[in-house]
Chain A
Amino acid sequence: MKMEEFLVQLDGVSKFYGATAALVDVRLRIGRGITGLLGPNGAGKTTLIKVLLGLVRISAGRGMVLGCSIGRSARSIRQQVGYMPEDDCYIAALSAVETVQLGARLSGLPGREALRRAHEILDFCGLKEERYRQAATYSLGMRQKLKFALAIVHDPRLVILDEPTSGLDPIEREEMLSRIQVLARKFGKAVLLSTHILPDVQAICDEVVILARGRVRMAESLESLNRPAEPAYWIQTVGPAAPLADWARTQGLPVQLDNERRLQLATDDPLLLQRLWQGAEQTGSAIRSVQPAKNSLEAIFLEALEESTHAYP
């Protein structure tokens, strides 16, 4: 990707609150598509988001968001960015439709247009008749939808979502992820998804940034993270996998027992896989599935965190 195609570029950005370092020398490039921002509590995710929005002054470094400097053009940035905060926040005494209309007007949409757009976006977000109720009476899931609507009502180029699926039931979670995908894939929005929920990242993200103790531990495409360090297959058996594993070892096949019913064949040679089928026939094992092995994002996440703990105790 060319430098000008990156929507967010941070170079050596640091943020200190007194003696506490919230961000340290963050170097980051975020392009189009959906980028997952992962990190444990206190990793600096929210601070990073506030830096991107120009809400907090950085202590060192420089950065550009959508071609605007984060220090000098905060308003221009916020004109083009939509933000869904993690906090349970709402504007008291206003209904959802009034809240979204207000958000649209604060972003510069004219009054009548803002109302029309608010209804349209609330339809998109799945808030139906309840949109006329005060937001203070909403469940957590409904407030998540409302915050999402507020984030996208002004048609931003970059959407920053902080824990968008927390508090949602499985169906609502699927719907929310699908909406995010529609925005990114169909309408070309850049989405920065900050979350604790690794399956969400696995399901929809193109890039993953792992933040720990204010430092970027990893920034790679999900595709490359999904590729195992060495090519391999995962073989899932119906019964115990041990007899098949023992047979394979006697044949000199590079196998490793993963758990009671799964073994890993460390090769991408289809001929060796063919031999394993023969072994299954001989040992009476039933193979349930064969899949190309992937690195577990969770494993990578934990590994990165562990590294950061050792590196910066």
Chain B
Amino acid sequence: MPIHDLGYRPWEGRTTSPWTRWMPITQSGVKIAWQNAWMRRLLWAAWLPAFYFALGFFLYEQWLKRTADWITERLVAQNLIQPQEAEDSFKPLLTRALAGEAVEKLPFAQRAMVRMALATAQPQIDRLLREGRRQLDEMLPGVPKTLDRHTIWCWLMGMFFRYPQGMVMMLLVGMLAPPLAARDVSSKAFLLYFSRPIGWGDYLLGKLGVLWVYLGIISVGPALALYLFGVLLSPSLTVLEHTWDIPLRIAAATVVLVTPTSILALAFSSLTSRSWAAGFAWFAVWFFGYIGYQVIWLRTEWAERWDPSFSAASTEHWSLISFYHVLRTVQGWIFGLESKMVLVQASAAVLVALTAVSLVVLSRRISAPIRQ
């Protein structure tokens, strides 16, 4: 017997709130997942694209600054404006105008000067505009037509979510989710959970919490850091006026990314006692959906290229077979990159339906072992 063995003792403390009983499940799940070295590496790797995208913010803000500097210097050289005034008030206003703020919103006294500056320097501005677009395009193809700050920042964020984070999310969920419920099925742990004062909703929330914590680390974390980086690079705090909605869009995009994916992956996990089978199902959904849509899209592209008379019906509706493209469409809409509302609505409906079916599967699979 250990010398500190106190034997059995009654416990008379205060119990925690019944609403927080899912938290220990999340905490233990996070702890278990952290033991996986590959998962830790993936978490670090998920932050690397943020550095690349930070370059985009840097290039854009530099372009704004260079353009404003160039126009101001030119006006000073022409004695159209005093150097002190140019530096103190004109240049910041010009930067705001170049960043997309309507000239009407600027202080009345400065409007004429800014209008005049923009009009006289239009050919040079166009040249700088082309140069700025070229630089951004080299970094990331598909730069929007307008180069105002809100559009460019939204576009950069949208691309960040669409490409690197979409890929990392798929890998991370594929690594984390399969054992979450499958391991409890194989070790018959459900009875240990449900003989406690918790319901299947607490269990579900606890397990989803594990995914949400890690998905938050790879999506909300880098995206907000990227936003903060952009703000710090900006010459003035007027950037907050132009981009205050972007953190909200990041939050909305994260919810769209995390909710259906985590619930679907957990549903796969609950269907089997073998983690590898759940992992296979998860990657198969992504892979076959993606490849399927790409094949249809390429076939149409080729037909149009070789046969000018070929009038292919739009292949966009086929994107609904690809989980990746469905997510991409809805996230694109959140960042203002997708304007075809019919496609957005159809994609959102697919995500809602998938989430609902997964929840039904989960509720039945989780409660089944204890009802038998």
A92-B28 in contact given A103-B192, A182-B8, A183-B8 (Cβ < 8 Å): no
Segment from B195-203, B226-234, B310-318 that makes contact with A: B195-203
Who on chain A is nearest to B203 by CB?
A: A106
Confirm or deny: A231 has a beta carbon within 8 angstroms of a beta carbon on chain B. no
How far is the CB of B6 from the nearest CB of chain A, in Å? 6
- A110 CB–B CB distance under 8 Å: yes
The answer to whether B5 has its CB under 8 Å from any CB of chain A is: yes
Tell me if B192 and A108 are in contact (CB < 8 A): no
B199–A109 contact, CB under 8 A?
no
Chain A residues lying within 8 Å of B89, measured Cβ to Cβ, are: none
Asked whether, in the complex, the Cβ of A56 is within 8 Å of the Cβ of B193, the reply is: no
Which of A31-39, A113-121, A247-255, A279-287 lies at the interface with chain B? A113-121
- Nearest residue, chain B, Cβ from A105: B24
Encoded as 1 (CB less than 8 Å from any B CB) or 0, chain A from 279 to 312 comes to 0000000000000000000000000000000000
Q: Is B69 an interface residue (CB 8 A)?
A: no
Contact A89–B189 (Cβ < 8 Å) = yes
Given A55-B371, A128-B2, A187-B10, A91-B24 contact (CB < 8 Å): no
The residue on A at minimum CB distance from B22 is A106
Q: Considering the complex, which residues of chain A in the window 201-256 have a beta carbon less than 8 Å from any beta carbon of chain B?
A: none
Q: Confirm or deny: A21 has a beta carbon within 8 angstroms of a beta carbon on chain B.
A: no
- Which residue on B lies nearest to A47, using beta carbons? B372
Asked if B192 and A88 sit within 8 Å, CB to CB, the answer is no
Nearest CB on A from B314, distance (A) = 48
Tell me, yes or no, whether B101 is within 8 Å of chain A by CB. Answer: no
B9: nearest chain-A partner, CB-CB: A120
Check if B188 sits within 8 Å of A87, measured CB to CB: yes
Which residues of the other chain, A, contact B179 by a CB distance below 8 angstroms? 92
Q: Do A53 and B195 touch across chains, with their CB atoms under 8 A apart?
A: yes
The reply on A102 being an interface residue by CB < 8 A is: yes
Q: In angstroms, how far is the closest chain B Cβ from the Cβ of A79?
A: 4
Listed residue (A89, A90, A98, A113) with the most chain B CB atoms within 10 angstroms of its CB: A89
Q: How far is the CA of A155 from the CA of B12 in the complex (A)?
A: 8
The answer to whether B21 touches A90 (Cβ under 8 A) is no
On chain B, the residues within 8 Å of A107 by CB distance are: 15, 196-197
B284 within 8 A of A: no
Taking CB atoms, residues of chain B closer than 8 Å to A110 are 13-14, 16
Once the chains bind, are A85 and B24 in contact (CB under 8 Å)?
no
CB atoms of B8 and A88 under 8 A apart:
no
Complex interface bits, A180-210 against B, C-beta within 8 A gives 1, otherwise 0: 0011001100000000000000000000000
A82–B289 Cα distance when bound, in Å, is 47
Contacts A75-B197, A92-B189, A106-B24 hold; do A124 and B18 have CB atoms under 8 A apart?
no
Inter-chain contact A90/B2, CB cutoff 8 Å: no
Once bound together, how far apart are the Cα atoms of A82 and B5, in whole Å?
22
B349 in contact (CB, < 8 A): no
Number of A-B contacts (CB under 8 A): 121
CB contacts (< 8 Å) of B183 on chain A: these are 92-93
Distance between B303 CB and nearest chain A CB, rounded to angstroms:
52
Determine whether the beta carbon of A124 is less than 8 Å from that of B7.
yes
> Would A150 and B11 count as touching, CB distance under 8 A?
no
Chain A, Cβ-Cβ closest to B6: A120
Residues of A in contact, count (CB < 8 Å): 49
Q: Which residues of B contact A45 (CB under 8 A)?
A: none
Whole-angstrom distance between the alpha carbons of A128 and B6 in the complex?
Answer: 14
List residues of chain A with CB within 8 A of the CB of B25.
102, 106
Please give me the residue from chain B that is nearest to A98 by CB atom: B28
In angstroms, Cα B9 to Cα A210, docked, is 32
Residues of B within 8 A of A50 (CB): 370
Interface residues of A in 153-181 (CB under 8 A from B): 154-155, 179
Give chain B residues whose Cβ lies under 8 Å from the Cβ of A183: 8
Interface residues of B in 146-205 (CB under 8 A from A): 179, 183-184, 186-199
Min CB–CB distance A104 → chain B (angstroms): 9
- Name the residue on A nearest B182 (C-beta): A92
Closest beta carbon of chain A to B186's beta carbon, Å: 7
Residue contact A109 to B15, C-beta cutoff 8 Å: yes
Chain A proximity of B184: nearest CB distance (Å): 7
Q: In the complex, what distance in Å separates the CA atom of A24 from the CA atom of B61? A: 77
Would you call A55 and B195 a contact (CB within 8 A)? Answer: yes
Least Cβ distance of B182 to chain A in Å? 10
CA–CA, A187 and B9, complex, Å: 8
Given A75-B199, A182-B8, A136 and B187 touching (CB < 8 A)? yes
Which residue on chain B has the smallest CB distance to residue A183? B8
Given the complex, which residues of B lie within 8 Å of A105, measured CB to CB? 16, 21, 23-24
With both beta carbons as reference points, the residue of chain B lying nearest to A182 in the complex is identified as B8
Are B370's CB and A152's CB within 8 A? no
**Beyond A85-B195, A109-B11: 13 further Cβ-contacts under 8 Å?**
A56-B370, A82-B195, A102-B25, A103-B192, A105-B24, A106-B193, A108-B15, A108-B21, A110-B13, A121-B8, A124-B5, A147-B192, A152-B8
Q: What are the nearest 7 A-B pairs in CB distance?
A: A108-B15, A89-B188, A105-B24, A83-B195, A155-B11, A106-B196, A123-B5
Chain A residues close to B by CB (< 8 Å): 50, 53, 55-56, 75-76, 78-79, 81-83, 85, 87-94, 98-99, 102-103, 105-111, 113, 117, 120-121, 123-124, 128, 136, 147, 150, 152, 154-155, 179, 182-183, 186-187
Give 28 CB contacts A-B under 8 Å.
A53-B195, A55-B194, A55-B371, A81-B195, A83-B195, A89-B187, A90-B192, A91-B28, A91-B189, A92-B179, A92-B183, A94-B32, A98-B28, A106-B21, A106-B24, A106-B193, A106-B197, A106-B198, A107-B196, A108-B15, A108-B16, A108-B18, A110-B16, A113-B13, A120-B6, A123-B1, A123-B2, A182-B8
